[in-house]
Chain A
Amino acid sequence: MNRIHNLSVKSKFALAILPLIIIIVVFDYLQIREHYEDYKDSQRLNKAILVGIEINHAVHELQKERGISAGFLSQDAEEFRGDLDAQRYKTDSTIQAFYDEIERDQLADLVSLHTEDLDNLGTYFDRIQEIRTNVDSRFIGADQVISYYSEINEVALRTVNSLISESRNRVAAEQVHAIIYFLKAKERASIERAVGTQAFSFGSLTPETRGQFTSLIAEQDAFIDAFTTIADQPSLVYFNNTVSGQDVVEVDRLREQLIQSLTLENDANYWYQMSTTKINLLKKTEDFMSVRIHDYTEGISAEANRSLYTVLVVDSSIALLTFVMIAFIVSHLLKDVETLEEFTKKVIAGDLSKKVIIKTRDEIGHYADTFNLMITEIKKSHLALKKERDKARFLYENIYKQSQVVFENVEQGIFLLNKEHKISRLYSRAMETIFGTKTIAGETLVNFMRTLLIPRDLEALEMFMKHLFNSDIDEDVVNQLNPVEQVKIFTESGGMVNTKYIRLAFTRIENKAGAIQQIMVTVTDETEGVLLQHKLEEADEKKKMEMEQMLSILKIDPALLRGFIVNSRKVLKSISAKYEGHDEGEGFEELLTFTFQIIHNLKGNSIVIGLQILTDRFHKIEDAITKLKDNPKVVGNDFLNILYEVNEVDIIIGNMSDMLRKVANIYNKFSSEEQTDTNYDLIDSLKRGLSTMSEDTGKAINFDFTNDKNLTIPKIIQDPIKDILIQLMRNSIAHGIEAPNVRIAKRKLIKGNIAITLDNEDGSDEMILTYRDDGNGLNTAQIIEKAIHRNVIAESERDKVDDAQVIDLLFSDGFSTNEDVDEYSGRGHGLGVVKSKIEELHGTFNVNFETGQFFEIVVKFPSNIQNPIEE
């Protein structure tokens, strides 16, 4: 069907008309052939009837010859002799006429059609001469001669039958059959004549011939019956009128005589004459019918001929007319179609200047008009489009340039992603700056980010891209999944790896139908912001620290804190002073030791008053100094770090001082109470210091302060006293008081005890401060061993060392027996500090101990000292 649709109009016409043409041609052909067949048939029938008539003539003469021959053989020969010869001549001439007839050229086709029948008939005709010879010599009987001739006639009539019984014309066929029935009846009549002649010659019918005679008559009647059934009216009327009258009645009478064996009144000759007369009447009828059928066939032949030509002319005319009409209409249509087609081609080629002209007012004409209208419209639209195009071009030039400028200068990275997730060719210049590369366009986003992201983020990005292009998921929901909302990337530029924080934002670009066409991606470099954020966080941290300082300050007794601050600032200043007055390149060890002692002492104080922040700081500085001490070559720069740290602590302490002043101001405003010197603050801070230390070490220690005389340590020396006691407590915890399990083993109280007693000798300004713990006392052997190990004393003097010397060793600077270093002890400076502090107070001390039982130190110092620090 498609193939037909694709044909040209011309071919479609051809295809549509072809069946019509075929029908016309076939119909014409069939009609003409039908008529031609009719014509041929009528021609053949006509010829066949001519031949048939000739054969009938011959048969008629042969019938007569048979009768005469039978008569000749039955009785007096001479009576029939003359007739016989004459008859034989007549017979021969009719047979000759038959041969002449079939020799005619016109009959060649008919003869060739029936060659076999005609040849067969010829052989029978040839036998006549032989029969005649036998008749002449009376060699055969009348019966035989009748049967011979009858056989010939039978064949002749059969031949006639076969010649003419093939007609297609029903009327002709019926009449032919009527004639044949009639001929058969006539043949029977002729035999009857012969048999009758014989009977009359003998005077009666023999028993054999009687049956034959009756049959012949019955058959005659039967064939005449058949004839009358189918013969046409004129033939029937002619027959009834002709075969009747006296002679026919006379033959019937003679028949009756023969059959009923009546006395025969007449001779054979009379019978012969009578029956011949009757047969001649039959012959007359036959001739009438022959002529009639011949005329009829001639008529139908002419009719067929005429109608054949009529049909030929009419059909040809119709066919011709049809062809001419079709050709005319189609060629006009096609011409119009071609005109349209050529015009269309011109239009396609862009020529809109002409109009198509088709004069016919059919559909094609209307199409042409429509076409012209369309061309006009196209011209108009064309112009409008041209204008639009120019406008668009103008806009494009401007907008494109502007967007180029924007893209060149915008600080954000902007680009589009197509459906393959690839980056558009056009992207903002900032992209190159942010990512530090120029190969950006055409790469998929995931590939582009591959080297910049950690694998987990990359994987998330890959998944996210899929969701982004899935229009089933709401854009807001998708954007919540954005894994690169803020992401750290590592870019390389000039061999340097930069860390950047970038933000990627995605916006869907959809067409009118809501399908996602592209994704617009904006990239923001947030590095500065993020760094700023970090700084803010740091600042926050600092604020927090300050807050802590503030809070810790508020927790501490202002008098204690104030003392601590004043003391700390003084000693810290002494460090920088010592450094400044120090010669470059030498004596660093001494400087370090000096610094360490001060820091260690401050650490102890900060622990006692509970300033955790400063404790941490001091410990850090101690660490740094220890490290430097282990280093064999120390330079000035190394010490600068320590100075920096010291300065930091100084600043913190300065801040505290400020804060404290502010707090003090507040106190002063709300409190009018006169300040008096007490030991309360000192003891309180010692208690707190001890409880902190005992909690940290897991050693439970009882603190006992005895002041029976209610003495007060002057405010001015409370700090050095506190320093001394704290150092002693640290020592007790580190070296003296055992761990609870050890104490249990020694059958001591689980809880250790530190007892401090304040006393004086009556009337003296000198105060006696006794410090005692119930710890392990001093392990002199271990101390000596250590001293030998450190080359403080010689191996050889081991046994000469006494307890006083051991105590001296213990109180010398930088000596420690403990292997571990912690906040409270272990750097070998502790008791050295105690000693130097006592000396500052112009005091003395005395140590007692019992190994495994206790350690005691009795410090004596003047109570009226004015300013112990300004030595």
Chain B
Amino acid sequence: MSKVLIVDDSVYMRTLIKTALTDKGHEIVGEAADGENAINLALELSPDLITLDNILPDMMGLEILKVLREEGVTSKIIMVSAVGQQTVVNKGKELGAEEYIVKPFTAEALIEVVNKVL
């Protein structure tokens, strides 16, 4: 039972993730569709887990990750990337992300990664 913040500009993706995690008993404490909201909510809610989309309208997920870690946010963070480019994956790990998952994914694949992190 963990508190989860979902960051994705696609409402359907958020829905998809929310459905998958709620089914497993996790609590979705917040959703953000852009970087600014994501940072505010993460600081405000101190969630156990953040799913962080890399491509957002105002900033890149990797930038958000960097800000969050600099601000001392200790939440587990799973990077969500549309393109499974190795550079993005490496960069994410370097900046403090625990895991990553490439879109589109199945609910099972997501749960597997979340279980690995929590």
A positions within 8 Å CB-CB of B: 181, 188, 211, 214-215, 217-223, 225-226, 228-230, 259
Contact = CB atoms under 8 A, between A and B. Distances in A.
Nearest to B84: A226
Given A217-B12, A229-B82, A222 B103 contact: yes
B83 A221 contact: no
Contacts of A181: 82
Nearest to B104: A219
B80 to A, nearest CB: 9
B15 interface: yes
B55 A218 contact: no
B83 A226 contact: yes
A188 B13 CA distance: 14
B19 A211 contact: yes
Given A211-B19, A230-B83, A221 B55 contact: no
A214 B9 CA distance: 15
B16 interface: yes
A577 B63 CA distance: 173
Given A214-B19, A218-B13, A225-B103, 18 more contacts: A188-B104, A211-B19, A214-B12, A215-B12, A215-B16, A221-B9, A221-B10, A222-B10, A222-B13, A222-B104, A223-B104, A225-B10, A226-B103, A228-B55, A229-B55, A229-B82, A230-B83, A259-B15
A259 B15 CA distance: 10
Contacts of B82: 181, 222-223, 225-226, 229
Interface in B1-31: 9-10, 12-13, 15-16, 19
A214, A218, A226, A230, most chain B CB atoms within 10 A: A218
A218 B83 contact: no
Contacts of B19: 211, 214
A229 B55 CA distance: 8
Contacts of A211: 19
Contacts of B9: 221
Contacts, number: 49
Contacts of B83: 225-226, 229-230
Nearest to B105: A222
Contacts of B103: 218-219, 222-223, 225-226
Interface string B68-93: 00000000000000110000000000
Q: Which of A181, A211, A215, A225 has the largest count of B CB atoms less than 10 A from its CB? A: A225
Nearest to A217: B12
Contacts of A259: 15
A219 B16 CA distance: 9
Contacts of B53: 225
B82 to A, nearest CB: 4
Nearest to A210: B19
A222 B102 CA distance: 9
A221 B10 CA distance: 6
A225 B15 CA distance: 17
Interface residues of B, number: 13
25 contacts: A211-B19, A214-B15, A215-B16, A217-B12, A218-B10, A218-B12, A218-B13, A218-B16, A220-B12, A221-B10, A222-B10, A222-B82, A222-B104, A225-B10, A225-B55, A225-B82, A225-B103, A226-B82, A226-B83, A226-B103, A228-B55, A229-B55, A229-B82, A229-B83, A230-B83
Contacts of A219: 103-104
Contacts of A217: 10, 12
A222 B55 CA distance: 10
A contacts with B: majority SS: helix
A437 to B, nearest CB: 110
Contacts of B104: 188, 215, 218-219, 222-223
A413 B104 CA distance: 126
Contacts of A214: 12, 15-16, 19
A406 to B, nearest CB: 109
Contacts of B15: 214, 218, 259
Nearest to B106: A215
A61 B66 CA distance: 46
Contacts of A188: 104
A60 B61 CA distance: 34
Most B CB atoms within 10 A — which of A219, A221, A222, A230? A222
Instruction: Give me the 3 closest cross-chain CB pairs, A-B, nearest first.
Output: A222-B103, A221-B10, A219-B104
Most chain B beta carbons < 10 A, residue from A181, A214, A220: A214
A218 B6 CA distance: 14
Contacts of A222: 10, 13, 82, 103-104
Contacts of B12: 214-215, 217-218, 220-221
A214 B13 CA distance: 8
Nearest to A224: B82
Nearest to A221: B10
Contacts of A230: 83
Q: For B9, B13, B104, which residue has the most chain A Cβ atoms within 10 angstroms?
A: B104
A150 to B, nearest CB: 14
A218 B12 CA distance: 4
B112 to A, nearest CB: 17
Nearest to B80: A222
A226 B13 CA distance: 14
A193 B53 CA distance: 26
Nearest to A219: B104
Nearest to B88: A229
A70 B83 CA distance: 32
A226 B105 CA distance: 13
Contacts of B16: 214-215, 218
A27 B111 CA distance: 55
A218 B14 CA distance: 8
Most A-side CB within 10 Å, residue of B12, B16, B55, B103: B12
A225 B9 CA distance: 10
A218 B10 CA distance: 7
A208 to B, nearest CB: 13
A188 B16 CA distance: 15
| From B15, B82, B103, residue with most partner A Cβ within 10 Å | B82
A219 B13 CA distance: 7
Nearest to A215: B16
A273 B19 CA distance: 30
A320 B12 CA distance: 66
Nearest to B23: A211
B39 to A, nearest CB: 20
B100 to A, nearest CB: 14
A574 B87 CA distance: 163
Nearest to A228: B55
Contacts of B13: 218, 221-222
A451 B9 CA distance: 132
A230 to B, nearest CB: 7
A226 B10 CA distance: 13
Contacts of A218: 10, 12-13, 15-16, 103-104
A614 to B, nearest CB: 148
B84 to A, nearest CB: 9
Contacts of B10: 217-218, 221-222, 225
Contacts of A229: 55, 82-83
A314 to B, nearest CB: 37
B83 to A, nearest CB: 5
A230 B104 CA distance: 16
A795 to B, nearest CB: 167
A214 B15 CA distance: 7
A228 B10 CA distance: 14
